[in-house]
């Protein structure tokens, strides 16, 4: 697979996951972890927001770097 296509796909998927993690973190917590106490749910909620932001950041970086020449990408 061409690296440009791979980085585009990876970037789009990461951005999509980041958006979903930020839009519906409580539902994601419920599906992934089941029933949690209120305090644990709030902590998990905060971590999902952080993970969503990181996912979007890495997705933007992947899409931004897809057109770099190989020599620049290796440095």
5-60: pLDDT as tens digits: 989 999 999 999 999 999 998 888 888 888 888 898 889 889 999 999 999 999 99
Q: Which two tokens stand for residue 20?
A: 């979903």
In a domain, 75, yes or no: no
In a domain, 47, yes or no: yes
In a domain, 25, yes or no: yes
Closest CA to 15 of 55, 54, 48: 55
In a domain, 73, yes or no: no
User: What pLDDT score was predicted for residue 59?
Assistant: 96
Exposed / middle / buried, residue 32 (Cβ in 10 Å: 0-12, 13-18, 19+) = exposed
Q: Count structural domains, the chain.
A: 1
**Which residues span the domain enclosing 59?**
3-67
In a domain, 74, yes or no: no
In a domain, 35, yes or no: yes
Rounded Cα gap, residues 66 and 12, in angstroms = 12
In a domain, 37, yes or no: yes
């Amino acid at each position: 697979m061409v690296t440009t296509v791979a980085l585009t796909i990876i970037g789009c998927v990461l951005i999509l996951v980041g958006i979903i993690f930020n839009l519906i973190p409580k539902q994601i917590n419920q599906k992934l972890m089941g029933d949690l106490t209120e305090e644990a749910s709030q902590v998990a909620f905060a971590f999902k927001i952080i993970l969503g932001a990181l996912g979007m950041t890495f997705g933007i970086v992947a899409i931004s770097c897809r057109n770099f020449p190989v020599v620049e990408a290796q440095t």
